[in-house]
Chain A
């Protein structure tokens, strides 16, 4: 048995990238997914950068239940079509004000579906088939208000089912707890539906709170939820104002300030407060550090979980 000469081992490439590298994969009109769940785990560094770069006509795939990160993208004029069964912030905003305002004015196309249809569509994309069958929804308005969903007779047993078309995603952005430099992503907690978004996407970039060693990942490989992210972005407090399990809870005061600004537009056609919000929190800060400085240390430290 010969020993391995370390000089003969080829070097494995790091997948750690910066924001510019991640965003270089985007162009107008693409289908882009944003992970997380309602008030937690959204890649907000990326969301703010998408708005800053004035991307247009995106089809945005939210989570099975999205939060106001999708609402903000809609309010900022980035979105042409939205695919998400819910956009809101529970008790902080039962219905996202930007989503509501844009939908009622006919400014966006809403791909209407429920959570089960959403995952059926992602699964079809992951499986590289044109659709997945689903039962719930037969008898409802879904096939009428979303003509992409078809009623069909199952060829095996003749049952009436819905065909949910594949939701193919060009680029997905997620936010998680940790990764090593090779794109092995681990969550604290369950990671919501992020695995399903990853499986349906051509490319996946993940913001993480912390980059850890490969040895650390190998202590518990079952926790590796995304085993092959295409790029890892360092993102301390990168989900702010939303929660990041294991790191911080949501910043309710900030979320409420956004809700007030977007509601002024949605309810009273007053664009002023929303423009001020976007100016202050997205356009003026030159980078994520400047954004966090604006949020302030005392606020950030107050978001400790326990």
Chain B
């Protein structure tokens, strides 16, 4: 294999995937959702480069993909062809009812709306729940997975004021409530809550004591002013905001030759 591809700069989605990958620790439990190219790539990148003891769930199987030269992508979570790497099945009701294994789990969620404390909404937009202006997909497994896993990241593919709002119309996944580092323990919620919000412009985390969303780094070519202008609430902005760390040559090589051969992350 040539290394010529590496001369192409990392795409925004490759950078987002690398941010997620670098947060993961060997031995953790992660799932590869379907039709979510960025978290999928992040999980597999961590697993293939430095997390050989991670448990990776693909299509409701405990999958052994470590030595696969190319990990084929599947569009649908129900695709039986994605079950070829199974060492075990996760029968779906067991997966959702048995929670102890999720203490080592890390989860990735999308959202229609996210507020300054990382509370998020997948239900819909509007004030009357029985007659929404926009009916969303529903909570799926997100309400539970954002509580029972050790932490989660919110990943959105557009950074704008419609998504990053002062107040969500509904909260389907609890973040830090109305703020404070004890917001979750006060309610008896075991997981560590949201850690990062990763967007096409930047990475945000949560200030330690208030748990208000804070700008952590901006992607190449993005200014702090642009992030502020496109966020619907007041972000905590430190005096110096670094650029998001880029993938190494090795990480880009693994992404392009083993994980994302079809180039989903390189599409505009």
Query: Are A and B a genuine interacting pair, yes or no?
Result: yes
Shortest distance in angstroms between B65's beta carbon and chain A's nearest beta carbon?
18
Asked if A190 contacts B134 (CB within 8 A), the reply is no
Quick one: given A106-B131, A139-B174, are A160 and B80 in contact (CB under 8 Å)? no
Q: Name A223-282 residues within 8 Å CB distance of B.
A: 243, 245-246, 249-250
- Of B22-30, B70-78, B235-243, B252-260, the one contacting chain A is B70-78
Asked if A119 contacts B170 (CB within 8 A), the reply is no
Quick one: given A114-B172, A190-B91, are A136 and B134 in contact (CB under 8 Å)? no
Asked if A116 contacts B135 (CB within 8 A), the reply is no
Shortest distance in angstroms between A95's beta carbon and chain B's nearest beta carbon?
5
Closest residue of chain A to B90, judged by CB? A190
A298 to B89 CA separation, bound complex (whole angstroms): 33
Residue-wise interface mask of B (120-148) relative to A, using a CB-CB cutoff of 8 A (1 in contact, 0 not)? 00011000011111111111111110111
Pick from A116, A123, A139, A141: contact of B170, CB under 8 Å: A141
Quick one: given A116-B96, A136-B147, A141-B123, are A85 and B133 in contact (CB under 8 Å)? no
A37 adjacent to chain B (CB < 8 Å): yes
Chosen A-B contacts, 28 in total, with CB atoms closer than 8 Å, are A38-B76, A39-B76, A65-B141, A85-B138, A85-B140, A86-B137, A86-B140, A92-B76, A95-B136, A95-B137, A103-B135, A104-B134, A110-B129, A113-B139, A114-B139, A114-B144, A122-B93, A136-B143, A136-B147, A137-B147, A138-B187, A144-B129, A145-B123, A159-B188, A193-B92, A196-B93, A245-B80, A306-B81
A304 to B35 CA separation, bound complex (whole angstroms): 22
Asked if B135 contacts A100 (CB within 8 A), the reply is yes
Asked if B170 contacts A87 (CB within 8 A), the reply is no
Shortest distance in angstroms between B240's beta carbon and chain A's nearest beta carbon?
34
Chain A residue numbers with a CB within 8 Å of B83 are 189, 245
Residue-wise interface mask of A (110-125) relative to B, using a CB-CB cutoff of 8 A (1 in contact, 0 not)? 1011111111101100
Closest residue of chain A to B81, judged by CB? A305
Asked if A136 contacts B80 (CB within 8 A), the reply is no
A99 adjacent to chain B (CB < 8 Å): yes
Pick from A90, A139, A190, A243: contact of B189, CB under 8 Å: A139
B60 adjacent to chain A (CB < 8 Å): yes
Asked if B187 contacts A91 (CB within 8 A), the reply is no
Closest residue of chain B to A37, judged by CB? B78
Shortest distance in angstroms between A150's beta carbon and chain B's nearest beta carbon?
16
Asked if A115 contacts B141 (CB within 8 A), the reply is yes
Shortest distance in angstroms between B126's beta carbon and chain A's nearest beta carbon?
8
Shortest distance in angstroms between B112's beta carbon and chain A's nearest beta carbon?
10
Pick from A38, A87, A92, A189: contact of B80, CB under 8 Å: A189
Quick one: given A85-B139, A88-B137, are A116 and B188 in contact (CB under 8 Å)? no
Chain A residue numbers with a CB within 8 Å of B225 are none
A21 to B172 CA separation, bound complex (whole angstroms): 41
Quick one: given A91-B35, A119-B93, A135-B189, are A249 and B140 in contact (CB under 8 Å)? no
A84 to B190 CA separation, bound complex (whole angstroms): 25
Residue-wise interface mask of B (48-82) relative to A, using a CB-CB cutoff of 8 A (1 in contact, 0 not)? 00000000000011000000000000011111110
Pick from B90, B132, B144: contact of A136, CB under 8 Å: B144
Closest residue of chain A to B178, judged by CB? A139
Q: Which residues of B contact A (CB under 8 A)?
A: 34-35, 60-61, 75-81, 83, 89-93, 96-97, 123-124, 129-144, 146-148, 170-174, 177, 187-190
Pick from A90, A115, A189: contact of B77, CB under 8 Å: A90
Asked if B93 contacts A112 (CB within 8 A), the reply is no
A119 to B188 CA separation, bound complex (whole angstroms): 21
A41 to B92 CA separation, bound complex (whole angstroms): 14
A100 to B83 CA separation, bound complex (whole angstroms): 31
Closest residue of chain B to A38, judged by CB? B78
Closest residue of chain B to A244, judged by CB? B80
Asked if A112 contacts B77 (CB within 8 A), the reply is no
A145 to B83 CA separation, bound complex (whole angstroms): 36
Asked if A140 contacts B93 (CB within 8 A), the reply is no
Asked if A114 contacts B141 (CB within 8 A), the reply is yes
Shortest distance in angstroms between A100's beta carbon and chain B's nearest beta carbon?
4
Chain A residue numbers with a CB within 8 Å of B177 are 139
Shortest distance in angstroms between B197's beta carbon and chain A's nearest beta carbon?
18
A137 to B189 CA separation, bound complex (whole angstroms): 9
Shortest distance in angstroms between A37's beta carbon and chain B's nearest beta carbon?
5
A218 adjacent to chain B (CB < 8 Å): no
Chain B residue numbers with a CB within 8 Å of A104 are 131-135
Q: Name A178-212 residues within 8 Å CB distance of B.
A: 188-193, 195-196
Pick from B76, B129, B144: contact of A90, CB under 8 Å: B76
Chain A residue numbers with a CB within 8 Å of B174 are 138-140
Chain A residue numbers with a CB within 8 Å of B96 are 64, 115-116, 118-119, 193
Asked if B143 contacts A99 (CB within 8 A), the reply is no
